[in-house]
């Protein structure tokens, strides 16, 4: 590793949410084609990650992982080469335990040979899960093991630690060498799951920063209850509305979560494209300083309506106001709470990141009505009055 990798939260696509076990070579090539041709690549999405279920159930005689010969008849390297030919990067999955969550070989006590194998195949990103971990070995040691193996495998590989927020991960993950860490359980394609994951990480901004990002799990934007993975689709009926997906995307963006798409991008609606490729919202996520947001709650509806505010490198502020409740509600942002008193002789010039329009200059406060499950996203610039 000659230079730091993942200077901003990784953006890409992962197979798990929609396809689960049903993955194969042609699917991944088709996803790579769409990523390159649809505008997603130009918007910043670059990783295509194969999740669980890609290997045979046994290692070979040399103790190496073997790609499933039916799903990947030409091997993983051929798939990685195809992804790279599109100007994209390739990711794969393993597990800190003896087996993956779906029962395939894990990397426990095979960390260095697996890292070497991944490097030989041209892997750029490793998602590293936490199933079947031996009870009496600290997860901290296992993630440090794989981090060391990856950093000495001869190739730059982003390390995505996925232990679901267990074992006090906030206290040791950055020093382990991982570039991102999953801090939540698995997301599902329903509003309650999005809401639960988002609320669980408010106040945890101090644990996320440049080169080590708090991962709130993959995006369900655009799934609309469709796919082969029953775990992700549980209790989802028809999935979420586009309004809920918009809010989901906005919160994940400002909280510096990696933006890993989970829908079938080959079948994206225009609404899904507009959400996933909103350059103004993506810019909040990809700001070079990667500072986490602080939270201000609506004084008379604290459990449902709140604002996340993120300092940006250019002196502006990213602002996401959102309403988790089931009724329309007011959000009143007092500039005092941001550190901007009226006596300073300054106000905030507001640009709306969803309408892409300037809203004007405001003093003392900004007030708006936020519809149920909706959000307002602003880029605020300090101006003299």
Question: Residue 287 in 3-state DSSP?
Answer: coil
Instruction: Please say whether the beta carbons of 201 and 214 come within 8 A.
Output: yes
Q: Give 3-state DSSP helix, strand, coil % of the chain, rounded to 5.
A: 30, 25, 45
Report the alpha-carbon distance of residue 193 to residue 189 in Å, rounded. Answer: 7
Report the alpha-carbon distance of residue 160 to residue 172 in Å, rounded. Answer: 14
Report the alpha-carbon distance of residue 331 to residue 268 in Å, rounded. Answer: 32
Report the alpha-carbon distance of residue 169 to residue 160 in Å, rounded. Answer: 13
Instruction: Please say whether the beta carbons of 265 and 15 come within 8 A.
Output: no
First to last CA, the chain: 49
DSSP letter for each residue of 235-263: T-TT---HHHHHHHHHHHHHTT--EEE-S
- What residues act catalytically? 129, 186
Vertex 143: Cα angle to 138 and 146 (nearest 5): 130
- Compute CA distances 183 → 121, 133, 141, 195, 327, whole Å: 29, 17, 17, 14, 29
DSSP letter for each residue of 26-79: HHHHHHHHHHHHSSHHHHT--EEE--SS-B-SS--TTS---B-TTT-TTHHHHH
Which residues make Cβ contacts (< 8 Å) with residue 15, sequence separation at least 6? 23, 27, 28, 31, 49, 50, 51
For 183, what's the count of Cα atoms within 13 Å in the CB-facing half-sphere?
31
């Amino acid at each position: 590793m000659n230079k730091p990798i993942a200077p901003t939260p990784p953006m890409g696509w992962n197979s798990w949410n929609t396809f689960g076990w049903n993955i194969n070579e042609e699917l991944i090539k088709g996803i790579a084609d769409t990523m390159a041709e649809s505008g997603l690549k130009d918007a910043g999405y670059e990783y295509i990650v194969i999740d669980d279920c890609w290997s045979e159930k046994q290692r070979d005689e040399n103790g190496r992982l073997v790609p499933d010969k039916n799903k990947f008849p030409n091997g993983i390297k051929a798939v990685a080469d195809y992804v790279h030919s599109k100007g994209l990067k390739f990711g794969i999955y393993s597990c800190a335990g003896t087996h993956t969550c779906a029962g395939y070989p894990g990397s426990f006590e095979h960390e260095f040979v697996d890292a070497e194998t991944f490097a030989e195949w041209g892997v750029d990103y490793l998602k590293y899960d936490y199933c079947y971990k031996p009870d009496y070995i600290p997860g901290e040691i296992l993630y440090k093991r794989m981090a060391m193996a990856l950093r000495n495998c001869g190739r730059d590989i982003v390390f995505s630690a996925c232990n679901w927020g267990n074992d006090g991960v906030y206290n040791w993950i950055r020093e382990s060498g991982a570039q991102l860490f999953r801090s939540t359980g698995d997301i599902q394609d329903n509003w309650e799951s999005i809401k639960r994951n988002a609320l669980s990480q408010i106040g945890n901004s101090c644990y996320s920063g440049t080169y080590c990002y708090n991962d709130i799990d993959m995006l369900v934007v655009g799934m609309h209850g469709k796919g082969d993975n029953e775990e992700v689709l549980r209790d989802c009926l028809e999935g979420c509305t586009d309004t809920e997906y918009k809010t989901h995307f906005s919160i994940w963006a400002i909280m510096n979560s990696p933006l890993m798409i989970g829908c079938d991008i080959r079948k994206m609606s225009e609404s899904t494209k507009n959400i996933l490729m909103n350059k103004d919202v993506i810019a909040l996520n990809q700001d070079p300083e990667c500072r986490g947001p602080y939270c201000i709650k609506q004084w008379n509806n604290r459990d449902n309506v709140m604002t996340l505010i993120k300092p940006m490198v250019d002196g502006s502020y990213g602002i996401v106001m959102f309403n988790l409740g089931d009724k329309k509600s007011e959000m009143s942002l007092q500039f005092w709470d941001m550190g901007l008193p009226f006596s300073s002789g300054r106000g905030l010039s507001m640009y709306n990141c969803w309408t892409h329009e300037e809203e004007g200059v405001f003093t003392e406060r900004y007030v708006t009505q936020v519809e149920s499950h909706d959000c307002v996203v602003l880029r605020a610039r300090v101006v003299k009055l």
